[in-house]
Amino acid sequence: MKKQSILFLIGGIFSLIIAMGIGRFAYTPILPLMQQDLSFSNAVAGYLASSNYAGYLLGAILAGAIPLKKYRTISLRISLIISIFTTALMGLTYSYLLWNVLRFLSGVASAYVFVLSSGIVLDKLATINKTNWSGLFYGGVGFGIFLSSLIIPILNQVFQWEGTWTGLAVVGGILAFFVWIWFNDTSSTVETKNKQETFIQAPPTKWLPWLTVAYGLEGLGYIVTGTFIISIAEKTSSFHNDATLVWMMVGLAAIPSCLIWSILAKKWGYVKSIVLAMTLQSIGIAVPAFWISQTSFVISALLFGATFMGITTLTTTLGRQINPSNSSRTIGNLTAIYAIGQLIGPTLAGVLSSFTHNFNAALVGAASVILIGAGLLLNGIQFERKSKKINRSRNFSL
């Protein structure tokens, strides 16, 4: 059973590498390569990014609204196929219209994979009492970013940006084979004992809107760096066609971040950990606006990578704890509001940078939005303090 659970988890990780690390975030390091060859503006780049996030929004809404409890595995597999094919086709056309359509469909597929795989994994881990493994699962996005940052320069050197998209799709197809074998929705209903423990440790359901709004602001703010950090670094004198290294730093920091934040959340509480992570992230996003050097970009990349998936891990896990009876819908709603923020962010940043001829205003604005989101969550710390008292009293009575 232990080996089966590990293979199951690896399958889940691979699904995130395909749909998120490659299908969704590979656009960030490939963007400057496309701009260098085709010379389109930051505004156009922002529109392409927003097309993907619009699809992500639609996918998140549909995944949360449509009852797929009995069909999660087949729905996830179909979404993975769409993600791989839309990635491949990006390198086979030069049409801005088709790119927007492909990025939109890729976003829909990414959201489906994220919401469905999260629900399957979190439900499964709850049944085997291994919820702390969720950090390993969400680390799949970091693995995907790191893997793509290694492969993209090699593919680009041999096949240019067109072949880079197709090559990444081939890698995704190989990983999908193992997802097919190892990753199935075999989770059963969580035991009552675990449910009772979960309810005691989480804030009440009425607090969920605060978490949802803050997560939406996180989506709005983080995506500015998530979309343009390579382009920003590429345009500075600090880098000589090595800006992809910045994205590699993001991936490296993201790989262990989810596990580390999960451990910290167990010790400090989920709400307090999310507030800390968002505060650190806002600092990382703002750094390049005030200090431009290789060191500043490395610091920004490490702080960004160490927090953006950690925040997602903590938020989705906490959301499931607040409402465990319908995990996919809760995660879908959270992902939808997150996607609304992502949809707005790149367009605003792209247009603003085209007017100001730099990204400083966009970066400062993004950092400020995230700080506001962190502030909204401060009132949730009281519930965790209460839950600790409840847990202590229960342990004492036992």
Largest CA distance in the chain: 69
Burial class of residue 240 (count of CB atoms within 10 Å of its CB; 0-12, 13-18, 19+): exposed
The model's pLDDT over 213-249, given as tens digits with 9 standing for 90+, comes to 999 999 999 988 887 888 788 777 766 667 778 888 9
Render pLDDT for 32-55 as a digit per residue (tens, 0 to 9). 889 888 888 878 888 888 899 889
How many independent structural domains does the chain possess?
1
Phi and psi torsions of 122, nearest 5°? -65, -40
Q: For 61-116, what is each residue's pLDDT tens digit?
A: 887 777 666 788 898 999 999 999 999 999 999 999 999 999 999 999 998 998 88
Q: What dihedral do alpha carbons 111, 319, 265, 281 form, nearest 10°?
A: 50
User: pTM of the prediction?
Assistant: 0.81
User: 212 lies in which domain range?
Assistant: 2-397
CATH classification of the domain holding 310: 1.20.1250.20
